[in-house]
Structure 1
Amino acid sequence: MLDELGGMRYMSKKVNRSVAWLFGLIAVFFGVLLITSNTTNAQAATTNEYIIDNRIQPVAIQYREGTFSDWFGYENGVGKPEGVVVHETADYGATAENEVSYFNREWPNMQSYVHAFVDNNAIINIHSTDYGVWGAGPTANAKYVQVELCETHSQDAFARSIANDAYYVAAKLIQYGLPAVPGQTILSHNQVSKMYGEITHTDPTGFFASMGYSMDQFNDLVVTYYNNLKNFGGVYRDGGSNTNAGSNNNTPAANVLRVNNPNGAYVPIMALRSDGTFARVTNRALMNNTDWQTDKTTEVSGVTYRRVATNEWVATTYVV
């Protein structure tokens, strides 16, 4: 109709009505876009606020040894990662437990493995973060701890999964004595893809955007948790410990230790030397009021130690 140039008044009026209708439709269309955009921006502004306002407490990290059998140190040595890479599973509805089972079974076929999986209910670490994994290309694998965030799609579940993920990242940075620097020690899979050019993955950018969230917002939460954990002993400024995963109270499971140093900001860890003596680990420590899985006990010079990592031990004097 709009390409007709007839001079009759009827045609002219019909064209005018059609034009008016079209512009009205365009106005409504852009109005919907504006509303959608504003809603997305509002969500992005409120996810972290939702976490803080509801005082969502991250769950404790569960440590389980997985089936990954390629034990290799980072480029700077065993126990010397340079930061944490954040992934997203792109597996709608799969939980951390689902992903752990799948990766433990299929990693030889997939040629892929990460250190941990996180959802709204659990943080499950399945390979010692003292050693690298296969998740982000050869260069990044030799540098970073790697964690996968599971997809959750309600506001509350997403917020809880984000809180758990940010806590894991902050905890690992503190464990290894690293600063919390977005783009340097806190990276997305998308960022390392661009940095090293060895892979083309863009997660978790797309999933974050679908939930009205961004990597910048996630970085803000990690830095907040990092500073509060170091300065106040918990993710909030008034301190407070994190509950054990899967529990509604503060009592760790039988094979989990809760550690605290009442006289300092961190709990020291020791390395067992070949001569049977211990040496203080100087480049990392355990955060106060955190839970650690343990599997062995030994006694040296009258002090009992519990193992919390491949060769990291904590004196039972620090066990709550």
Structure 2
Amino acid sequence: MISVKKFSLLLTGLLTLFTVGAANATTAHASSPVNDYISSQNIKPAKVSSALWGGFPKNAYRHGVGKPEGVVIHETANPNSTIYNEIAYMKSNYRNAFVHSFVDASHIINIANTNYLAWGVGFPGNSRFVQFEQVEVHSKSAFAHEVSNAAWYTAYLLHQYGLKPNDAAYDGNGTVWSHGSVAKYLGGSDHTDPVGYYSTTGKRYFGKAYTMSDFYGLVHNYYYSDFGGSASKASSSASATPLDKVTYSKLTTTGKLSSKYSSYRLYNHVKNAYASTSKYSWSSVKATAGKKVYINDKGVKDKAGTTWYRMTFSTAKNAKQYWVYAGAVDVD
């Protein structure tokens, strides 16, 4: 965290010789009271506002890479400040620490060029990650809006720099980092944000702690719904043309292939929700009307309102998963 009250991080180095293996994208469709509320209330993320300040130093990311390798999520640990107070204070104290952007319930404000590193997590993380702060908010709606903004902005940054979602919390390899994960796996700090803020605020307004796993699931969903899972070349003003946006929710049930199943197709993702989607023939799974299936996820297209199910044909741990239109399945 980088608190208005207290700055303790010092710039301890700009370059690192450490290397970390390339991270592979993971899959998650997290469901939580906060994420479900965001979906049910049809909360839309704020647009990114550019308010770049020329006073921040411009130092390159680590040698041999030259661009961000992930995103670090912070929170300010100050319950009494506003986003504009935080930005003003940071400009006055940037020699101690600074981040690239600030997020609250209504804003995503980029203040430092993300093509250059920030000083938010110490060495060696500074030379590897885009970093942004969340301002503490104080209502159910505000927290849901802030989390939505933060997750969408994380997905936006990953897309901008040619990265895919991968939760770093489990092994220190990935593209989505809390400040706590950086401290745990890379050092340079002893901070744990935004874990405590998420947990406390989730309990206060939604009756259940919000976790970084929940947040990662939201990032994953935004990335593959709004950005098609593809990546663009780095640009300070990168944007993406969204495909069909899908709201996902966990579902554990069974069903049977309907009498009309052959009118539809099997896919590896919800149709048109991804930049590229593979089709599979029913003969490849020895399909017959009435064949039992095991359903583990549900997706509803926001605009069309159509429902899709992710299913397997066995309970084996490595069973291949397929997405189908709801008409192909009679759900138990």
Q: TM-score band (shorter)? A: 0.5 to 0.7
2 CA distance for matches of 1:180 and 1:168? Answer: 12
Does structure 1 retain, via aligned residues, the 8 Å contact 2:161–2:234? no
2 CA distance for matches of 1:132 and 1:285? Answer: 18
Counterpart in the other structure of 1:287: 240
Say whether residues 1:121 and 2:106 are aligned partners: yes
Counterpart in the other structure of 2:156: 171
Counterpart in the other structure of 2:124: 139
After superposition, give the CA deviation of every residue in 1:35-55 in whole Å (9 maximum; x if it has no partner): xxxxxxxxx931000001111
| 1:59 counterpart SS class | coil
Counterpart in the other structure of 1:24: none
Match of 2:50 among 63, 71, 77: 63
1 CA distance for matches of 2:142 and 2:40? Answer: 15
Match of 1:230 among 216, 227, 231: 227
Which residues of 2 match residues 1-320 of structure 1 at below 5 A?
45-76=32-63, 80-108=67-95, 111-183=96-168, 184-211=174-201, 212-231=209-228, 286-288=239-241
CA distance 1:285–1:156, change in 2 (3 Å): closer
1 CA distance for matches of 2:58 and 2:128? Answer: 14
| 2:49 counterpart SS class | strand
- Name the % identity: 38
Does structure 2 retain, via aligned residues, the 8 Å contact 1:113–1:135? yes
2 CA distance for matches of 1:269 and 1:135? Answer: 21
CA distance 1:173–1:192, change in 2 (3 Å): same
Does structure 2 retain, via aligned residues, the 8 Å contact 1:162–1:218? yes
Specify the code of the residue in structure 2 equivalent to 1:89: T
Does structure 2 retain, via aligned residues, the 8 Å contact 1:190–1:205? yes
Does structure 1 retain, via aligned residues, the 8 Å contact 2:162–2:232? no
1 CA distance for matches of 2:82 and 2:59? Answer: 28
Compute the displacement of 1:78 (Å).
7.7
Compute the displacement of 1:79 (Å).
5.6
Specify the code of the residue in structure 2 equivalent to 1:171: Y
After superposition, give the CA deviation of every residue in 1:93-112 in whole Å (9 maximum; x if it has no partner): 3222221111112223xx10
| 2:87 counterpart SS class | helix
Structure 2's unaligned 5+ residue stretches are 1-30, 169-173, 202-208, 243-332
1 CA distance for matches of 2:146 and 2:234? Answer: 29
2 CA distance for matches of 1:163 and 1:151? Answer: 14
Normalised by the length of structure 1, the TM-score is: 0.58
Does structure 1 retain, via aligned residues, the 8 Å contact 2:199–2:210? yes
Specify the code of the residue in structure 2 equivalent to 1:125: N
Counterpart in the other structure of 1:308: none
Aligned length: 200
2 CA distance for matches of 1:81 and 1:73? Answer: 10
After superposition, give the CA deviation of every residue in 1:9-51 in whole Å (9 maximum; x if it has no partner): xxxxxxxxxxxxxxxxxxxxxxxxxxxxxxxxxxx93100000
Q: Which has the larger radius of gyration?
A: 1
Root-mean-square deviation (Å):
2.4
Does structure 2 retain, via aligned residues, the 8 Å contact 1:266–1:285? no
CA distance 1:269–1:185, change in 2 (3 Å): closer
CA distance 1:206–1:130, change in 2 (3 Å): same
| 1:231 counterpart SS class | coil
Specify the code of the residue in structure 1 equivalent to 2:217: D
Does structure 2 retain, via aligned residues, the 8 Å contact 1:96–1:123? no
Compute the displacement of 1:185 (Å).
0.1
2 CA distance for matches of 1:215 and 1:269? Answer: 26
1 CA distance for matches of 2:64 and 2:42? Answer: 38
CA distance 1:147–1:77, change in 2 (3 Å): farther
Compute the displacement of 1:166 (Å).
0.5
| 2:132 counterpart SS class | strand
| 1:84 counterpart SS class | strand
CA distance 1:55–1:76, change in 2 (3 Å): farther
Specify the code of the residue in structure 2 equivalent to 1:288: T
After superposition, give the CA deviation of every residue in 1:135-177 in whole Å (9 maximum; x if it has no partner): 0012100000001011112110000000000111000000011
Normalised by the length of structure 2, the TM-score is: 0.56
